Structure 1
Amino acid sequence: MCINISAQYVKELRDKTGAGMMNCKKALKAAKGDMSLAIENLRKQGLASASKKSTRIATEGLIESYIHAGSRIGVLLELNCETDFVARHSEFHTLAKNLAMQIVACPDVEYISQKDIPSHVIDLEKKIELARNDIINKPQNIRLSIVEGRIIKRLKELSLLDQAFIRNPEISIANLIDQKISLLGENIKIRRFKKFILGEGMEKKSNDFSKEVADIVQN
């Protein structure tokens, strides 16, 4: 039987735990409305109290590097926390390594979160979607509805925090960071990352052997 969880009840759980609204809603549904059980489950998942720390200043941390096998793609990542003590913690180092590997594993990821995506990128994506052949002859309201859904999907593809964690697809990268915030007791933020792909942006020389042979013969 589907249990109806009110927004007020979700807010109450959020106020008690500091966990995100969606996590609170899921916890209440899983607990069939039992507030105590929902709180217990959130604490087990490491989500309780995470959002309460999310506004605290984080200026310590580390710069992590990851070079994928074959040395054709790599990532530099800056991950911040509040103290040097946590910056040296093995859990923090593991998180940084996992995040760098995640970026390599997700070729579409270009931004940390959806709010970092520039408006001109969103406008370009909308323009591309509106011109697609499969919807161009549909009524305007249906086209706009389809495009809206596709844009939402596309923005998630571009955002690192929206990705399913490669080591545990049941949680997102945002969930993973919330878990580590609760575990380590400090705010943790991805400040920036840079992906390096061998030869990216360079004009690659193509060898036209038939033309080369023809030139040699003519000379």
Structure 2
Amino acid sequence: MKIQISPHFVKELRIKTGAGMMDCKKALQSADGNMDMALETLRKKGLASADKKSTRLATEGIIDSYIHIGSRIGVLIELNCETDFVARRIEFQKLAKNLAMQIAACQSVFYVSANDIPEDIINNEIRIESEKEDIINKPLEIKDQITKARVDKRLKEMSLMDQSFIKDQNILIKDLIKEHISLLGENIRVRRFQRFLLGQKIDSN
């Protein structure tokens, strides 16, 4: 016998995942009312759906900004979607604001994703890591493995998509965006951003 699920629970799960009401109800029933288990099940389905939408053209959207307390750090971000309708949705606009705040908080982030990092930057990171004293005398195969692991870690530090969300450390930015793709039903992508630091690149003379 299937357990009775509160409509409030169904609605809460729908808001979190963007899945249909019946799908949410079935997931909760299968999980015996366990919200976390049901969320995990629907998130997997939702993320798979989001992956398909992520190849679609996104040329609408908004340019948003965030100015940190003290007005010493500011961020401009362009967040794209497929239609002006979605661009006006409060969920989309809140996502843009959260991403701008994320960029302001992550001073080592300079690129949208690791795929956007120029080859000369990557090669320079490889050179630096491969010449570090703690691995310089190790066998070549081990040295290459350590270098690759360290470079991969460094590239992720520079990539917005690979950051843990400042408001929920259990989710990466790329998965936060996928959740919104599932919720709003359109492809969403960060096209570009710019961070401004007060006094940056100003000649003191």
Within 1, Cα distance between the matches of 2:42 and 2:150? Answer: 32
Within 1, Cα distance between the matches of 2:40 and 2:153? Answer: 32
Within 1, Cα distance between the matches of 2:46 and 2:168? Answer: 15
Q: Does 1:70 align with 2:47?
A: no
The residue aligned with 2:189 is 189
Amino acid of the structure 1 residue aligned with 2:175: N
Residues 158 and 66 from structure 1, CA distance in 2 versus in 1: closer, same or farther, beyond 3 angstroms? Answer: same
Within 2, Cα distance between the matches of 1:77 and 1:45? Answer: 29
The residue aligned with 2:11 is none
Gaps in structure 1 of 5+ consecutive residues:
1-30, 32-36, 206-219
The residue aligned with 1:94 is 94
Residues 142 and 94 from structure 1, CA distance in 2 versus in 1: closer, same or farther, beyond 3 angstroms? Answer: same
- The answer to whether the 8 A contact 1:60-1:80 is kept is yes
The residue aligned with 2:19 is none
Within 2, Cα distance between the matches of 1:143 and 1:202? Answer: 40
Amino acid of the structure 1 residue aligned with 2:144: L
Amino acid of the structure 1 residue aligned with 2:132: R
Q: Which has the higher contact order (CA 8 A, sep 6+)?
A: 2
Secondary structure of residue in 2 paired with 1:79 = strand
Counterparts of 1:1-219 in structure 2, within 5 Å, are 41-43=41-43, 46-204=46-204
Q: Deviations over 1:30-76 (max 9, x none)?
A: x9xxxxx8897134884241011111111111001001111111110
Amino acid of the structure 2 residue aligned with 1:64: D
Identity %: 61
Residues 43 and 147 from structure 1, CA distance in 2 versus in 1: closer, same or farther, beyond 3 angstroms? Answer: closer
Within 1, Cα distance between the matches of 2:165 and 2:39? Answer: 23
- The answer to whether the 8 A contact 1:42-1:48 is kept is no
Secondary structure of residue in 2 paired with 1:134 = coil
Residues 123 and 186 from structure 1, CA distance in 2 versus in 1: closer, same or farther, beyond 3 angstroms? Answer: same
The residue aligned with 1:12 is none
- The answer to whether the 8 A contact 1:45-1:179 is kept is no
Within 1, Cα distance between the matches of 2:126 and 2:175? Answer: 28
Please, what TM-score do these two structures have when normalized by structure 1? 0.72
Within 1, Cα distance between the matches of 2:139 and 2:110? Answer: 33
Within 2, Cα distance between the matches of 1:90 and 1:83? Answer: 14
Q: Which structure has the larger Rg over C-alpha atoms?
A: 1
Please, what TM-score do these two structures have when normalized by structure 2? 0.77
Residues 40-49 or 120-129, more deviating: 40-49
The residue aligned with 2:3 is none
Secondary structure of residue in 2 paired with 1:75 = strand
Within 1, Cα distance between the matches of 2:40 and 2:135? Answer: 47
Secondary structure of residue in 2 paired with 1:51 = helix
Q: Deviations over 1:191-210 (max 9, x none)?
A: 100111112123446xxxxx
Q: CA RMSD for the aligned pairs? A: 2.1
Secondary structure of residue in 2 paired with 1:110 = coil
Gaps in structure 2 of 5+ consecutive residues:
1-30, 32-36
Q: Deviations over 1:134-181 (max 9, x none)?
A: 222323322222111100101110110011111111110010000000
Q: How many residues align?
A: 170
Amino acid of the structure 2 residue aligned with 1:153: K
The residue aligned with 1:24 is none
